[in-house]
A and B are shown apart, each in its own frame.
Chain A
């Protein structure tokens, strides 16, 4: 994924050190209860510890088993602590931004007073001048300013924030660079945006997500099944005349129950949230991250997401009898004073295609005619030339006033451009139409590929635009989205979401305006832009600090990756058991029934080394998989069938084979150094 700037090395020394301490503190049984699998391991460890000095069998063996059982619990705790630690580190960076500042609170009767930012309540109004930090989340109600939001977004370029409209929200901890603004505070101390963000990232408010709950039930069920299998094995062993020690039975139990996934499950969840934060997306709940993986339909705003913000001139189509150079010249002249992006793109096109350089017009006594709502044209008068450019109906009107008409060929060009999704601008000089400028939406690079990938993953993309259906159809064709909603009003958007949801689909969308809020709330995943209004941010269940709507796609990928990591490690954990049976069962009964050594296909040296190797493998695999749990399994945009095949092969078949090799290696090692 694209944005890795904030990702940390997995084994950060500071995090590891505090995680080691945390993993000891987490041994508290009341905390362990939440994780039935690891709780069983802890109970097993306690039992073997208590029996350690009473048992008659080999002390060294029993001691080693007991130690490794404790390690198993600790390793699982360590994994969780690591994930939390990484979250905390992330939070630490954020917390710096929350440094105490003084604020100028505006008094109701006029005037201001200095108060600590922590004392500000929702509804207070403050004045922030250039150079000061904004003391809390709020909405600008007066003024305009450039604001440095790098503390939150990591983006160093300042952004413009102004009263009214969709760019009025400001975040506490960001700094005003120029001008001054009056801000109405919208949050109480402790519940500011930053506070919530920190709490979420630290995992303090973590609640189990629906899939996690279901998975926990499965794991608890499997644990009970294995408990049964091991507990009843003792009577069978007694029947066969080969009763077992508690140490061996507990070892078998711990090896069989899904400790790998049980130990890593919460770490995976925390890491998923963490990965989102690394992408500068803040999820309000883990549930939202999971929902992102389930999304069937993505609603993407055209402007800014699919296309670059502005239309650009792509072609000059001259009227009959006019050369392209003539037309380009007129078009450029008409646009020299036009500071809109469209205007600038005309100047650039004329320069790149016809070598026409921008000219200094002051010498020619040029008179610029600005765009007005009445004429809906702009242009220039110079040296007797009266050049105008504008929408086709405006130009027709202009020509009619002067007794001429639009040539048929120009009319045809206009229609062709409109049909292709472009915007035609007609250029006229001295009451004569010179030709048409083709203004075009420019689709961002790489979007087509992204949409193809999404399609392969079974996700439908819908482009939302205010354009007319003709234009929308053309752009959606070019961008490769599956569908579009043209001339979209907020209500249309809402209806579309409802319609999709009625079909059982999950919908994700981005939005920033206040009028997006209802739709953001209705969508299953609503990503609000940080630059957007407070209302939009409250309505969505995620906020993108970079205000980059394209990131919705990454959010979906992170959601999927989270679910995949859980599934993959569960599969791996269960598949591991086969090898452990082949290690432990023959070891248990080989003394009484040497024939059972046929099952010792790994040729483990002694029964003790076999049991010990399996237990050690079982503990170490948790540590070995911590990076995978924190990073997530490798993600590829492919169909479910392809993903399943790949993951089944790696984690299913791999999970069958890996422990055979691992246990054998450990056996060679510990018999080599005479531990068993």
Chain B
């Protein structure tokens, strides 16, 4: 670990701190339909959209109607994506590489994946998806699922803020305003900044270049194995060219991070030099991941009239963020003790540490920072392979997702995720101050606890049950690429990531099988929508309640003590649920690695 590494981490958190307030105020204004500087441009577009689609922007929805429209919109747009994937070879445009139709199971998995803001990828982008599919299908969903997430968070905030009201806003309006005022303008700027760093943005076919030094490569036989001649020597082939994948990357990259989607244009995601060419582009991408989720905490404070509560939540997130990044940074900088004859020391001349699966331009600090951020949020973009992280370094992203990605979290999803924890924390500890627990003036009662528990239950249920099945069934274990405890972690990570709508992976696990494609798609759909519905039910129920004015006897949700409590509840609930699984996965692997054992 280096001073420079720490400075980069602290500066990053400082930047997030700086953007929280202005962006939070802006979002509060946008969703309260107050005037903003973007109105002259966006208001006409908004009106046009409503006119074309028949939306009455003054109509207010109950939570049930809100949920229904959200589900219908997600369903329709998911069908469209499936259709595009299945027919990309037939569509006349933007398929310069003539890529064939995507297979049904994979297309279903991918459609579910992008609709749910997961962006789990059982495919390599550059070898599977045409430019049209990438733009119209995948990048589009990056916008749509992010806008849906933000809309839901705003609806939840309204639920807390409103008093004795039946409604929580209009889904179409929230979704549209999230897109037009927030995502679109930031993405145009972000995309151009990324292009300035070298992220490509074109519609031309892949380039073929002449290699400086042609390579002798062992041929691969029809069975997929390296070919060996009759003399027992490998059959070699000369490779003299390199095909360089191109495409409209920057436009997708910007929304991939800003919408905490994480679906890479290329297989290597943000490790790919065309997606993330410089340390600055890396920083910018990380900043984009956290910007909106951080801002939403301020929006929460502003719209509920308790700015200090917003900051208390922010602080809890910051504590968990720093804990995660410190652990990951420490573990990766420590390196892999099993590698002998390798210089893993950190110096001015080399990053050192565990560099397997990482890029030199990012080194250890920026890689672990990225890994922490992408899993704190439900982004899932990666700039190095988590599968090749050390056991504890790789456990950090895994645990981050297990904590429901509430550390800043996915756009919208992070906020409503942590608010579920807040409801639980307020309920458990709230009794200890001798009153029926209250959250910002709303009593937390049986119905709210029931719904919050439902959310808290569904998540471990799908993760643990599906991981358990996969870890003993042949169709599950056959996909494992790293044997031993690491294999268990691979499966656990897969279902955790999909249930949490993260999308990052221990990439060695072969997810492109019938089992993982279908079970995974279901996991992602359940992980998204089964969480959202009880969450909206709480919002609707809170909105109906009377407001109890705060007093000295009211449970404090604005103090450092509350921050500590919230962090404690998140850690304990997460740890108690997943500790057994973790102890046989990364923890066991770490102890065995230290003891010198390989698999």
Contact = CB atoms under 8 A, between A and B. Distances in A.
Do A and B contact each other directly (Cβ–Cβ < 8 Å)? yes
A639 B554 CA distance: 8
Interface in A183-228: 210-211, 213-215, 217-218, 220-221, 224-226, 228
B277 interface: no
B431 A504 contact: no
B504 to A, nearest CB: 22
Looking at B431, B453, B549, B579, the one whose CB has the most chain A CB atoms below 10 A away is B431
Contact of A570 (B431, B552, B591): B431
A503 B549 contact: yes
A313 B445 CA distance: 53
Interface residues of A, number: 73
B488 A571 contact: no
A640 B553 contact: yes
Interface string B535-569: 00000000000111101111110010100010010
A644 B555 contact: yes
Interface string A283-316: 0000000100110100000000000000000000
Given A230-B580, A575-B572, A643 B433 contact: yes
B540 to A, nearest CB: 18
B462 to A, nearest CB: 10
Given A240-B588, A256-B576, A596-B588, A639 B428 contact: no
B460 A564 contact: no
Interface stretch (B30-38, B44-52, B95-103, B463-471): B463-471
Interface in A151-189: none
A294 B554 CA distance: 9
A644 B428 contact: no
A457 to B, nearest CB: 5
Given A210-B445, A229-B580, A456-B552, A563 B431 contact: yes
Interface string B429-460: 11111111000010011101110011011001
A398 interface: no
B477 interface: yes
Given A564-B431, A564-B434, A566-B431, A640 B579 contact: no
Interface in A526-569: 559-561, 563-564, 566-568
Contacts of B554: 458, 640
A239 B432 contact: no
B535 to A, nearest CB: 15
A225 B427 CA distance: 18
Contact of A233 (B441, B460, B546, B581): B581
Contact of A640 (B433, B469, B588): B433
B432 A581 contact: no
A574 interface: yes
A296 B548 contact: yes
Contact of A221 (B453, B469, B553): B453
A456 B445 CA distance: 25
Interface in A486-535: 503-505
Contacts of A217: 446, 449-450, 453
Contacts of B10: none
A154 B256 CA distance: 75
Q: Is the interface of A mostly helix, strand, loop or mixed?
A: helix
B429 A505 contact: no
A596 B587 CA distance: 8
A231 B461 CA distance: 11
Contact of A564 (B433, B453, B572): B433
A226 B576 contact: yes
B548 A214 contact: no
A11 to B, nearest CB: 27
A568 B434 CA distance: 10
B584 interface: yes
B457 A237 contact: no
A115 interface: no
A571 B429 contact: yes
A234 B427 CA distance: 32
B493 to A, nearest CB: 14
Contacts of A641: 552, 556, 559, 561
B575 interface: yes
A477 interface: no
Given A639-B553, A643-B432, A648-B429, A239 B461 contact: no
B544 to A, nearest CB: 13
Given A225-B457, A458-B552, A581 B576 contact: yes
B591 A595 contact: yes
B244 to A, nearest CB: 41
Contacts of B465: 228, 232
A593 interface: yes
Interface string A623-643: 000000000000100011101
Contacts of B453: 217-218, 220-221
Contact of A599 (B432, B460, B471, B583): B583
B561 A643 contact: no
B588 A593 contact: yes
A352 B430 CA distance: 54
| 4 A-B pairs with the lowest CB-CB distances in the bound complex, closest first | A458-B553, A567-B431, A560-B434, A458-B551
Given A221-B453, A226-B576, A240-B488, 11 more contacts: A214-B444, A221-B457, A228-B460, A236-B584, A252-B580, A564-B434, A570-B428, A581-B579, A596-B588, A640-B434, A643-B433
8 contacts: A211-B431, A221-B449, A229-B576, A256-B576, A581-B579, A599-B587, A640-B435, A645-B561
